[in-house]
Structure 1
């Protein structure tokens, strides 16, 4: 077994991927060192998105990123979930623009399932919008439960 290639493989994955727990922890510090981008369309964003994310669908990235973010800005991208390659496509666009980028594995699905903060956008009949807390209880299959159901870190 070639352990050098094996170590290189896992080091490369960690260089280009992160997970919802690590992203959430970084956002809680107030200076995460990256911009979290939700790459889904408006309907999906309105239904629910990671609190702290910026909405930027893939078709808008080539124009918006150079206009809105300084060179050297790092990004973490997510799309729907593990069955979707939208975040991978977004990562390609952003890296081709010359920015550092990581993909949040599990996407929005695992962010929400792990009980991370979720916001939704409610649009009224007059067209005005309001942001509402749509955070779900942690799914015991994806997030370990602590004492009396309190969420704990998985320490992975």
Structure 2
């Protein structure tokens, strides 16, 4: 074996000693846990489709003058006052997190139609938390993906 062949063979053996480069049976066949995770992932994405709405969808609903929706802005009152989606009510998350589901607390929320919630931006999870809380209390709900920033990015009308 010449010098170059020995170096090549040494390199191959070295690479094979690293787990990232070695083929293992777990890379060839998914484990039962991985298969179960794909089932959970499928359900998650189906739920995301069913329980989210994009800004365009909200705008279409508003243009249709649908009376069976309440738009809920969970941002701080200061941010709401600076601008919000037309007809949205302000229910700041700090107040909302204590909501127990009585109609007296927030009479604008609907059980006979949808409540669309939004917060600041795509990375904000306040609307997700609010939507989860509403759903747990029996309120039909969807989350507007992208929040108020996505609404503004589309140059849709803003109310003050």
Tell me which interval the TM-score lies in, with the shorter structure as reference length: 0.5 to 0.7
Deviations 1:117-146 (A, max 9, x none): 1022xxxxxxxxxxxxxxxxxxxxxxxxxx
Q: 1:13 to 1:70 in 2, by over 3 A?
A: closer
* Structure 1 residue 65, shift from structure 2 partner: 6.1
Q: Which consecutive residues of structure 1, in runs of 5 or more, have no partner in the other structure?
A: 121-156
* Structure 1 residue 72, shift from structure 2 partner: 3.3
* Structure 1 residue 64, shift from structure 2 partner: 7.7
Greater helix proportion: 2
Q: 1:71 to 1:17 in 2, by over 3 A?
A: closer
Partner Cα separation in structure 1 for residue 92 and residue 102 of structure 2: 11
Larger radius of gyration: 2
- Give the corresponding residue for 2:135: 95
Partner Cα separation in structure 2 for residue 119 and residue 30 of structure 1: 16
Partner Cα separation in structure 2 for residue 87 and residue 65 of structure 1: 19
Q: 1:70 to 1:79 in 2, by over 3 A?
A: closer
Q: Which consecutive residues of structure 2, in runs of 5 or more, have no partner in the other structure?
A: 1-29
TM-score, scaled relative to structure 1? 0.66
* Structure 1 residue 15, shift from structure 2 partner: 1.0
- Compute the RMSD of aligned alpha carbons: 2.4
Deviations 1:4-45 (A, max 9, x none): 947644321111111000001011100163211000111110
4+ residue segments displaced more than 4 Å: 4-9
Superposed, which structure 2 residues align to 1:117-132 within 5 Å? 117-120=157-160
Q: 1:65 to 1:14 in 2, by over 3 A?
A: farther
CA contact (8 A) 1:45 1:55 kept: yes
Greater strand proportion: 1
Tell me if 1:25 matches 2:65. no
